Structure 1
């Protein structure tokens, strides 16, 4: 299986084959000379986004111990798949992340649903796994956007049968560090 494409919000391009999607999205102001589609933005206030094609059902997002006690999270429905779908879901997530506080705190065993108007904060268990249930009402594309890279917590989205779900496309942003103290014991990602 090939790994998903990773894009950056600073330079997002959509080839000529995506022109139909581009016309439907209303993003005509950013068409490039070669028929591509470009967005120029500063790095958003989140670090990782992944787009999944999901069927209706219940999924489990499992986290293991990591460098932070909590993490902000948005689960945003996307109008389409691919880089363009992730980009626009990322714009919605950016608006949510720019809020001062998360709307809802999730702890081990809690349930969430995709929403364009809700930012979550996951409070991780101090020991072991934290499992958040994700209920999807209809088949489609959904973007999970997180404050930290899921690999920091060995996080994975699992189907009802326990299989790991893979992203169609991901987006990664600027690194940050987790400070242990003010004496240079940080580690970067």
Structure 2
């Protein structure tokens, strides 16, 4: 059984000429450390990294535990766990310092942004779908205040094919009461 990746456990060990910091990011052995970080659990609960072509993707949600949710959609400079880790730094900053003043409702479109924390306002009942617009192919990450399973969320290609993330990270920064709402 594999242990899930967390900010503290990212890449434990040594890789070639690099050593892993306790904070979870790689640093070279010469002492230069452009990547010094110290994160505990970030303010988002789930992050996923996708390799997406240019186009429009449907992100669908079923009814879930809350009437709205914070959501970040950011580009990543590389794939895999390392790309997700660094995109997660951007998302952490958005979740900690953003106001989620950009509301997204059923049928609206969002674009990747390192400056915008969205708030998804779910439909009162049934499915809520937002469109993710990608202008150029590459790696993109989605960070949410809930695990997608809580809303039976699916990211779908233009052909309606369900897409799976190349890498994911999950945290339990908040709990849910018996009725499912954030505590």
**TM-score of the aligned structures, taking structure 2 as reference length:** 0.83
Say whether the 8 Å CA contact 1:110–1:132 is kept in structure 2: yes
Say whether the 8 Å CA contact 1:11–1:39 is kept in structure 2: no
User: How many residues were matched structurally?
Assistant: 169
Partner of 1:57: 55
Runs of 4+ in 1 over 3 A off after TM superposition: 37-40, 185-189
Unaligned 5+ runs, structure 1: 20-25, 32-36, 180-184
CA-CA distance at 1:132 after TM superposition: 0.2
Unaligned 5+ runs, structure 2: 19-24, 30-34
Moved more, 162-171 or 94-103: 94-103
Say whether the 8 Å CA contact 2:65–2:179 is kept in structure 1: no
Query: Quick one: distance in 1 between partners of 2:179 and 2:62?
Result: 20
Say whether the 8 Å CA contact 2:44–2:173 is kept in structure 1: no
As a proportion of its length, which structure holds more helix? 1
Say whether the 8 Å CA contact 1:6–1:169 is kept in structure 2: no
Partner of 1:76: 74
Alignment of 1:42-53 (within 5 A): 42-53=40-51
Partner of 2:32: none
Report the secondary structure of 1:98's partner residue: helix
Tell me the alpha carbon deviations over residues 90-120 of structure 1, each in whole angstroms, 9 at most, x when there is no partner. 0000000012520300000000001111100
Query: Quick one: distance in 2 between partners of 1:94 and 1:67?
Result: 22
Please point out which of 92, 106, 109 is paired with 1:108.
106
Tell me the alpha carbon deviations over residues 43-67 of structure 1, each in whole angstroms, 9 at most, x when there is no partner. 1000000000000000000000001
Query: Quick one: distance in 2 between partners of 1:89 and 1:164?
Result: 22
**TM-score of the aligned structures, taking structure 1 as reference length:** 0.80
Tell me the alpha carbon deviations over residues 117-166 of structure 1, each in whole angstroms, 9 at most, x when there is no partner. 11000000111000000000011000000011010000010000100011
